[in-house]
Amino acid sequence: MQSKLKRVDFIFSSNEESKKVLLKTFRKTREEILDELITSRLKGRGGAGFSTGMKWKFAKSEVADQKYIICNADEGEPGTFKDRKILDKALFKVLGGMAIAGKVVGANKGFIYLRGEYKFLVPQLKEGISDFHKLLKNELDFDFNIEIFLGSGSYICGEETALIESMEGKRGEPRNKPPFPTQYGYLGKPTVVNNVETLALVMMVCQVEAENFKKLGIHDSTGSKLFSISGDTPKSGIYELEFGMSLIDFVEEFGDGDTKSVQVGGASGFCVPRKKFETTTIGYKEDLDGDSLPTGGSMMLFNSSRSMYNVLHNYLEFFTNESCGQCTPCRIGCQQLLKGIKAIKRGDKSEEYLKQLLELTDTMKLTSKCGLGQSVANSFSSIVENFREEMIY
């Protein structure tokens, strides 16, 4: 059967081509590059999907003696493992994206915030960065220095303000926003924090140009996207696909024939049951009929042998441990959800209690300080509402 998914081969394509792209891009003005990026409608690939061009624009407009570019490589979302491969196989594109960001924003210092567990990548990253520094100096005469900062294993440090706090030697706890990092970031200076894949895709926009980039994908979900595919699938791994695919097409290609649900976007994402595969699109919301789900690229498939109660229990345990603990709704809310579903399962609480817990997720969504606490509701409500009987019996 012919696949309905369109494979894209950019990120892992030849780095030689990328070098030419970088040289070409550096001949453009900051404004030209920024225009191109905004026109491309490239959105951050970490999961939240904020416009990359706008983020750069905000940072560019700030007046400061020092600005920073940070590459967020604290890949910690359960089921996501694409950034590791990008750093391993396509480092040049990431560094290129950082240098371009540096040029546009007016920063001469960059950091790669590397997930602690990816320490084994450090020697090769250092080598790559060293070569890259030479290239910047010799061929572009551009002063931009990149350093590696190793994280310490906390999930929350993937949140950009917690990441910055951690870099400053403090507890990795999200900050109050506003101010945003583009105004007040690392050491109080304007800072752009971009995901690894986003930075690599900046090179794609520069290579194929915005109009061609936009031809890939749909509506506001332009370009390609790397998917980390895991679970009950015969073809687990990393795939670069055109953004905006239909979930039914995806399951047809990657499912094992018995797919019961797909968790889109990791533990903080949404669970889509079989009956909604056809109406669900993987991409951003605007102008789409049916459900549309953004994702950082994690796609976990579950077949009928899996207990969705166990899946949810696993996620909640994860959040209970990985919440930074500073704000009330997230710290206590996660514990209540976990304790609550256990009590219902045991029969200590009636099934009516699920309603109370769903209301609690509303509060968590409305009042949590950062995306972690706000997004626990996603997996909880989508699993509980679609697999209610599995929670109770």
Residues that bind other proteins (CB under 8 A): 154, 156, 171, 173, 176, 178, 319-329, 331-336, 339-340, 343, 349, 356, 359-360, 363, 365-369, 374
**Least distance from other proteins to the Cβ atom of residue 318, Å:** 9
* Peptide linkage before 178 cis (omega within 30 of 0): yes
CA distance 242 to 253: 14
Provide, rounded to whole angstroms, the least separation between the CB of residue 183 and other proteins.
Answer: 12
Which of 166, 207 has the CB closer to other proteins? Answer: 166
Residue 374's nearest CA partner among 336, 323, 340 is 323
* Residue 69 vs 157, nearer CB to other proteins: 157
Nearest residue to 113 via CA among 82, 144, 77, 83: 83
Report which residue type is found at 106. G
HSE-up (13 A, CA, CB side) for residue 153: 3
Tell me how far, at minimum, the Cβ of 325 lies from other proteins, in Å: 3
CB of 331 to other proteins, least distance (A): 6
* Closer residue to other proteins in complex, CB, 211/348: 348
Which lies closer to other proteins via its Cβ, residue 258 or residue 317? 317
In DSSP terms, which residues pair with 69 in a beta bridge?
110, 192
Smallest gap from Cβ 285 to other proteins, in A, equals 13
141 alpha carbon, distance to own chain's centre = 32
Q: How far is the CB of 326 from other proteins (least distance, A)?
A: 4
Specify the residue, 279 or 367, whose C-beta has the smaller distance to other proteins. 367
The CB-of-109 to other proteins minimum distance in angstroms stands at 27
Closer residue to other proteins in complex, CB, 319/380 = 319
In the chain, the amino acid numbered 133 is: H
Nearer to other proteins, 304 or 356 (CB): 356
Q: Which is nearer to other proteins, 105 or 164 (CB)?
A: 164
Closest distance of CB 317 from other proteins, Å: 10
- Closer of 53 and 333 to other proteins (Cβ): 333
Q: Which pairs from 377-382 meet CB under 8 Å and 24+ separation?
A: 378/265, 378/268, 378/269, 378/270, 379/263, 379/267, 379/268, 379/269, 379/270, 379/271, 379/312, 379/315, 380/312, 380/315, 380/316, 380/337, 382/270, 382/271, 382/272
CB 36, CB 209: distance < 8 Å: yes
Minimum distance between the CB of residue 324 and other proteins, rounded to whole angstroms? 5
